[in-house]
Amino acid sequence: MSIETVTMGEAVVVRVVGRALDAHAAGPFKDAVLALVAAGRERLVINMKEVELLDSTGLGAIVTCRKKLGPRGTIVLCQVDPRVLGVLKLTRLDRVFKIHPTEEAAVAAVSGGVPA
């Protein structure tokens, strides 16, 4: 697993490169995203296109990043595989992370208004 980040205006797209965001990959993923948060980025899109397996540790890592971001920031997901969507729904974390069909839609969504 590796991470590719692309800045699009205010938004930063984090592309997860690799098929599993699991306990083994969660650490490097979290480090990369938290570095963006530390650098002041508040509007993050996580592109899950390649991810076929999201386990509870990978999910926990996304949650940790969301919490670190605080109420001012936002994290959305895009291009989520049905298997990964199943995990988000079971844990009900789909209520926390909005899911967009495309990267463009996700970037547009986070670049929109300022969250209250």
Partner 1 sequence: MRDRCGPGGAGGAGGARGAGGAEPHPHGQNSPPHGPRELRLAIDSRLAAVAPAARAVREFLVAAGGDALEAAQAELCVTEAANNAIRHAYRLQPGGTIEIACVADGDRVVLAVADRGEPMREPPRPRPPEFDPADIENLPEGGMGLFLIGALMDEVRYTVADGRNTLTMTRFAPAALPAGRFSAAD
Residues making contact with partner 1 (CB under 8 A):
20, 22-24, 52-53, 55-57, 59-60, 63-64, 66-67, 69-71, 82-83, 86-87, 90-93, 95-96
Minimum distance of partner 1 from residue 92's CB (angstroms): 6
Q: Which is nearer to partner 1, 31 or 104 (CB)?
A: 31
Cα torsion through 64, 68, 13, 106, rounded to 10: 90
Minimum distance of partner 1 from residue 70's CB (angstroms): 7
Q: Cα-flanking dihedrals φ and ψ of residue 105, to 5°? A: -65, -40
* Assigned token pair, 86: 């199943």
Distance of alpha carbon 63 from alpha carbon 97, whole angstroms: 9
Q: Which is nearer to partner 1, 83 or 104 (CB)?
A: 83
Number of DSSP helices (H) and strands (E) in the chain, helices first:
4, 7
Minimum distance of partner 1 from residue 89's CB (angstroms): 10
Distance of CA 43 to the CA centre of its chain: 10
Q: Which is nearer to partner 1, 84 or 103 (CB)?
A: 84
